[in-house]
Structure 1
Amino acid sequence: MGDRALQRRIANGEIKRSAPVDSTIRNWVRAWKRDGLLGLLDARSLRREQTWERIDERYRTVAELVFATLDGDRADANISELDRRIKVELKRAGHVDVSTPQRLTAEYLAHLKRGAGATTRTQRSRSLQRVSGKEHFPAIRPGQIVAIDATRADNLVYDPLLGRPFSVEILTAIDVATRVVLALRVVPKSADGIDAGLLLYDICRPFSMMVEGTTISHWRWAGLPQVVDASDVAVNVGRRSVAPDFTTLQGEHHIPGVMPDAIRADHGSIFVSDHFRAILRDFGIDLLLSRGKKPTDNPHVERWHETLQRAVQQLPGYKGRNTSERGRLVAEEALVTAAELEEHLRRFVALDYHRSWHTGLVIGGEPTARTSPLELWDIMLDVTGRIDVPQRADMIYQMLPVKWGTVGVAGVEFAEMVYDGKLLDDFRNVARGQFRDDDNKVPFLVDPHDLSSIWFPHPETGRVRPVAWRGSFFTDAPMTDTIVQAVRRRVRERGGNHILSRGSAQRQILDELTELTSGPVPTDWTAKLSAAHRRVEQSRKDHEEAQAAQGATRDEATQSGGNEARTKTPHTDSPQDDVPLDILDVPWPTMRADS
């Protein structure tokens, strides 16, 4: 029945016969008469294998050189353009008689293109693999090498002052031996040496985060001593375990601090700056620089940047790694601020990353054992013993640059800003050589991120105290949240702060009545203002924390009355400026394990 249906379809012309046509049969007969049974074989099966040796060696040599330039720095090119470049180089070298089979040459170029990479990202990775090291850093204990790097955040954040999105960078420090993230900061793009110094400040400080129910606290400095003894007796505190409790998220989560032996970084301007190098020199930390344009020399922190994708994709404003991944409405989403992004990333570190199995942590004697970064931190400390962590409440000021100024009747002036206070009364006319041999200038610590105050290390008390800018009342005037929100809303409604500035009314009169035009506003103005706003916000937070810590140490010493007194780590928000720092002469915890 099936055969009849097939025959009917053939008869109706719906399908054609599968039998060869007459001309094909005649060709088979001629081939059989000429070559016998060999003539009936498919000629394609008898064709010799096409090898690259059939292509002129000169062409292949130049082709390899041309494809070696595909390292991700230049835009990608198709096969036709690469063939053209090869022929141009051959002609420049005087080889005008080179001829290659077209089809085989195209296959050869496609083979080279697959080896180089189909995209610029792949090309960059493969070019770096040819020059990258084959072994990890020889880090065998926590703090031996800490890798740091900066990366552009793949999220837009919201500037509440201007009411617009802007880009930020993420600074991260990761311990090479254990992969523990020791510090993380969100800073404006184009971070500077001050930002790098403050990242080191965070590396040296232990933090903790508390989860109670659905409430998650901020990262809090947990570096003040648990036991204070003001009788000049060394204070020893047993080392606390930082390994997480995998049965619940509730409770305290630790982020350890460490004084690193060496810092691993690339040749970024912030890491090779004179200021950052001076800080490392003061702390006795070696700086290990990667080779230029070789990010694979610092693979641990580069791999961390990939892990960050899990965190940033959870937030609105994710713009992808390039424009091809960016959504059309990214800038219109309800964005988080830079501070909220930093808080989210720190929560991700403490509650996700540090509690997860890290596949890069492979123990030689037990390769199948799964460990988290904090677990390996505890394991290594049990084997290697103590680590030294400097815990001075005023340590942040060692990260700031020193500027020398003459204190006069009106105060001291830096960058056309005058700073004054009662603290300077005893230093208005100091003798030459009191602080520096060549003149009568006085040293001050200046935070370029917040110029509302400078900081003076008092030579008698050792206390670092703020000296306010004379116009600081403009920035520190008390305002409720309602007023702050109203001010921000008004600034946004009128188009930004640059609308109302010195001489703006006069310029408007000139523009409208005499047809004169003012100079163009720099295109990067808003970006710089957003960056300055973020840096001031972070700097004030750091200084308030340090000042509060100095006051807290004195309170604990007073309560002890010369005897040991166990206290909880203080988390106060109000600095006590008038308390001396004699307590800082007391030895601080060595983090030595109880013997």
Structure 2
Amino acid sequence: MRQAIAETADASSRTIGFIIWRTKQILVDDEETAAVNLPSRATLYRLFEKLAAGTHATGSARTRRSIRARPPGPFGEVAASAPGELMQIDSTPLDVLVQLDDGIAEKVELTAMVDIATRSITAAVLRPTTKAADASALLARSVTPETMRPGWSEALRMSRSVLPHRRLLSIDDRLEHAAARPVIVPETIVCDHGKVFISHNFRASCRYLGVNLQPAHKATPTDKGTIERTLGSVATLFAQFVAGYTGSTTERRGRNLECGPLWSLSELQNLLDEWIITCWQTRAHDGLRNPETPTRAFSPNEKYATLLESCGYVPVPLSGDDYVELLPERWQAINAYGIRIKHRIYDSPELNPFRRQHSGVAAKKGLWEIHHDPYDVSRIWVRDRRGNRWITVFWKHLHRVGVPFGELAWDRACEQVPGGTEEQIADAVSALLRRAHDGPAAQEDRPTKRSRRERRAAARTRATATDRPVPNPPPTEPTHDGETDTTLAKVIPLGLFDPLANPWRRP
């Protein structure tokens, strides 16, 4: 019976009757125990109650897998005595429906990072689907102050909190209009083996900022229990109070949630940021107790102000080039016509000295390092190692689409126009975003009806276009042909046409 109970660890939940049946089959399959006389059914049930205690053999499958993933020994904890010494990052679906464009109601993913020493949520972002660029954006938001936003109460300012604002302002001028959220520079980040956190882009971003990335053991959530519990607290302290709350499981979900009032993605992100400052950072945490005064629990802001006296504060200003460094990279050749990425051609006159040339990086076979934003395909950045700068290169057909869009809309347009040219795909993207802007009411008179997948692609594109994960340096405005206007050309007026003049006479 112990063997039958152990087999249910990764299987679907079944009843006690199945466990008893499986026990009989195990006995029959073994020649030594095939002739064993079984006790009564009531005795087998009592035996099961003793052997299955604490295993959830017939309960929730998720709880059963979580219990199995626990280490056999006592729980340990790595102590952190300074802000940023040890941080944890994770991503999970948020149990709230958001209203995207075109009437699409979908759940979003929450990616957050928490500091172990102070239990501060240094950054949290909401996205329809988390990408590597979003994880890199968390690093940028963690080391930069949170600026006060329109509509927030003046009580949320750092100058009115327990944080030592006056002393920090003399070191970092950016804190003058900052909200009461600590600025923490990570030293070590613990993450799981999700493809977002072990991606090349996120690891490269950690190396650029000098952060040590420490992956946890596979299928061992106890290695990063703090962020797991923090995300659970976000669901109980914030998500269930938001309109459109779905519950953690389908059996807890209500009816007709899509028809009720829902927040947009940008509005929900603003509410989450405000809740972190007003509630989480000022709420007493049981894990922040001083051994000298065990009866008092500190808040994350109070603990940060205490540790700051012994650890100090180092500002990390990020320039426009630093944000470009955090974007995903790829290595490609610079051809005579420019750079081709997914049937899109990027070109600029600044690429003339590098066309069909070796980049000097032998490890990449002479290819050039290119950084791109998955939420905005209008431009890319090429690293000029000789001049130690970034070259902004715009899409050749940028003038065909007047709305920012990402890879999701482009991939959907490629499916609609199989084998089409770059111009045809660009027109398909423009038509897709135009239909999304018109809304469902304007679609009633049209003969064709869009699929739900197409509506979802358009809605997600517009949701991420309004809230970029990483800001870009101010680019130079491109012209329709992708070039940059620096000087005005000389205007030559045309003369009047004289119908009676001799066309063969020389002037």
Structures share a fold, TM > 0.5? yes
2:437 is aligned to 488
Identify the range of structure 1 (202-211 vs 167-176) with the bigger mean alpha-carbon deviation.
Answer: 202-211
Distance 1:108 1:261, change over 3 A: same
- 2:133 is matched with which residue? 194
3-state SS of paired residue (1:116): coil
1:122 to 36, 47, 63: 63
- Residue 374 of structure 1 is matched in structure 2 by 301
Matching residue of 2:282: 355
Aligned twin of 2:28: 91
Residues 188-207 of structure 1 show CA distances to partners (whole Å, capped at 9, x for unaligned) of 23x23222222222222222
| Secondary structure, counterpart of 1:547 in structure 2 | coil
Letter of the aligned partner of 1:81 in structure 2? F
Equivalent of 1:324, from 248, 251, 255? 251
| 2:311 maps to 1:384 | yes
2:99 corresponds to 1:158: yes
Q: CA shift at 1:389, angstroms?
A: 2.9
Instruction: Give distance in 1, aligned partners of 2:199 and 2:222.
Output: 22
Matched, 1:204 2:170: no
Amino acid at match of 2:325: Q
Structure 1 unmatched ranges of 5 or more: 1-62, 220-225, 227-234, 243-250, 479-483, 502-520, 551-576, 579-595
Residue equivalent to 1:592: none
Aligned equivalent of 1:538: 467
Check the 8 A contact 1:157/1:168 in 2, yes or no: yes
CA contact (8 A) 2:336 2:356 kept: no
- Aligned residue identity for 1:317: G
Question: Which residue of the partner structure matches residue 116 of structure 2?
Answer: 176
Equivalent position SS for 2:319: coil
Give, in angstroms, the shift of residue 471 of structure 1: 2.3
CA contact (8 A) 1:139 1:145 kept: yes
Cα distance in 1 for partners of 2:396, 2:445 equals 26
Secondary structure of 2:470's counterpart equals helix
Out of 242, 262, 266, the residue aligned to residue 335 of structure 1 is: 262
2:340 corresponding residue in structure 1:
413
Amino acid at match of 1:473: H
- Report if aligned partners of 2:116, 2:226 keep a CA contact under 8 Å in 1: yes
Pair 1:111–1:495, CA change in 2 (3 A): farther
Which residue of 1 is the match for residue 3 of structure 2? 65
Distance 2:367 2:63 in 1: 56
Unaligned runs of 5+ in 2: 159-164, 405-432, 477-483, 486-507
**Count of aligned pairs between the two proteins:** 436
SS in 1 for 2:214: strand
Letter in 2 for 1:83: I
Q: TM-score, normalised by structure 2?
A: 0.74
1:300 aligns with one of 215, 221, 226:
226
Does residue 15 of structure 2 align to residue 78 of structure 1?
Answer: yes
Q: 1:528 to 1:93 in 2, by over 3 A?
A: farther
Greater relative contact order: 1 or 2 (C-alpha under 8 angstroms, separation 6 or more)? 1
- State the secondary structure of the residue aligned to 2:207: helix
The equivalences for 1:524-535 within 5 A come to 524-535=453-464
Q: Retained in 1: the 8 A contact 2:333–2:356? A: no
Contact 1:407-1:428 at 8 Å conserved across structures: no
CA contact (8 A) 1:211 1:217 kept: no
Matched-pair contact (CA < 8 Å) for 2:104–2:459: no
Shift of 1:151: 0.2
Q: How far 1:187 sits from its partner (Å)? A: 1.3
In the alignment, the residues of structure 1 paired with residue 222 and residue 455 of structure 2 have an alpha-carbon distance, to the nearest angstrom, of 35
Q: Cα distance, 1:90 vs. partner?
A: 1.7
**1:439/1:292 Cα in 2 relative to 1: closer, same or farther (>3 Å)?**
closer
Q: Letter of the aligned partner of 1:134 in structure 2? A: F
- Contact residue 158 and residue 164 of structure 1 kept, 8 A: yes
Deviations 1:7-63 (A, max 9, x none): xxxxxxxxxxxxxxxxxxxxxxxxxxxxxxxxxxxxxxxxxxxxxxxxxxxxxxxx2
- Residue aligned with 2:54, SS: helix
Task: Determine the C-alpha separation between the residues in 2 that align with 1:500 and 1:469.
Answer: 30
Q: Judging changes above 3 Å, is the alpha-carbon distance between structure 1 residues 174 and 433 closer, same or farther for their aligned structure 2 residues? A: same
Contact 2:122–2:183, Cα closer than 8 Å, also in 1: yes
- The alignment status of 1:270 with 2:199, answered yes or no, reads no
Q: 1:238 aligns with which of 166, 171, 179?
A: 171
Question: Are the counterparts in 1 of residues 217 and 223 from structure 2 also a CA contact under 8 Å?
Answer: yes
Deviations 1:368-405 (A, max 9, x none): 12210111111111122344635334321111233445
Question: CA offsets per residue over residues 555-587 of structure 1, 9 Å max, x none?
Answer: xxxxxxxxxxxxxxxxxxxxxx99xxxxxxxxx
Distance 1:458-1:255 versus aligned 2 partners, 3 A rule: farther
Partner Cα distance (1:490, 1:279) in 2: 38
Q: Distance in 2 between matches of 1:394 and 1:342?
A: 26
| TM-score of the superposed pair, with normalisation by structure 1 | 0.64
1:505-520 pair list within 5 angstroms: none
The answer to which of 125-134 and 351-360 deviates more is 125-134
Judged with a 3 Å threshold, the aligned counterparts in structure 2 of structure 1 residues 281 and 167 are, in CA distance, closer, same or farther, namely same
Q: Give 2:216's match in structure 1, choosing from 267, 279, 290.
A: 290
Aligned amino acid, residue 208 of structure 2: D
| CA distance in 1: counterparts of 2:152 and 2:380, whole angstroms | 41
Which of the numbers 452, 469, 474 marks the counterpart of 2:378?
452
Query: Which has the larger displacement, 365-374 or 109-118?
Result: 109-118
Q: Distance in 1 between matches of 2:67 and 2:369?
A: 51
8 Å contact 1:79–1:110 — kept in the other structure? no
Secondary structure of the residue that 2:38 maps to in structure 1? Answer: coil
Deviation of 1:495 (Å) = 7.3
Q: Which moved more, 1:431-440 or 1:83-92?
A: 431-440
Q: Is residue 430–residue 440 contact of structure 1 (8 Å, CA) maintained in 2?
A: no
Cα 1:369–1:295 shift into 2, 3 Å: same
The 3 A distance-change label for structure 1 pair 239 and 281 is: closer
Q: Please state whether the residue corresponding to 1:254 is helix, strand or coil.
A: coil
Q: Deviations over 1:220-266 (max 9, x none)?
A: xxxxxx9xxxxxxxx99437999xxxxxxxx9533233331211011
Deviations 1:481-533 (A, max 9, x none): xxx999624456427999589xxxxxxxxxxxxxxxxxxx7x75544444444
Q: Is the CA contact 1:407–1:427 (under 8 Å) kept in the aligned structure 2?
A: no
Partners of 1:132 and 1:297 within 8 A in 2: no
**SS of equivalent to 1:335:** coil
Give the drift of 1:80.
1.3
The 1-side partners of 2:446 and 2:387 are apart by: 42
Match of 2:399 among 469, 473, 478: 473
Match of 1:167 in 2: 107
CA pair 499-418 structure 1, distance change in 2 beyond 3 A:
farther
Equivalent in the alignment of 1:260: 186
Distance 1:433 1:176, change over 3 A: same
1:12 — aligned with what? Answer: none
Higher Rg: 1
SS of the residue aligned with 1:169?
strand
The structure 1 residue matched to 2:272, chosen from 306, 327, 345, is 345
Q: Is the 8 A contact 1:259 1:390 kept in 2?
A: no
Q: d(CA) in 2 for partners of 1:201 and 1:285?
A: 12
Separation of aligned partners in 1, 2:157 and 2:449: 36
Partners of 1:281 and 1:411 in 2: CA distance: 30
- Following the alignment from structure 2 to structure 1, what is the Cα–Cα distance between the partners of residues 255 and 470? 37
Counterpart residue identity of residue 14, structure 2: A
Taking only the aligned residue pairs, the percentage that are identical comes to 22
Check whether the contact 2:332–2:369 (CA below 8 A) recurs between aligned residues.
Answer: yes
Q: Answer whether contact 1:147 1:300 (CA < 8 A) is retained.
A: yes
The 1:65/1:492 distance shift into structure 2, 3 A limit, reads farther
Asked whether the equivalents of residues 157 and 180 of structure 2 are also in contact (C-alpha less than 8 Å), the reply is no
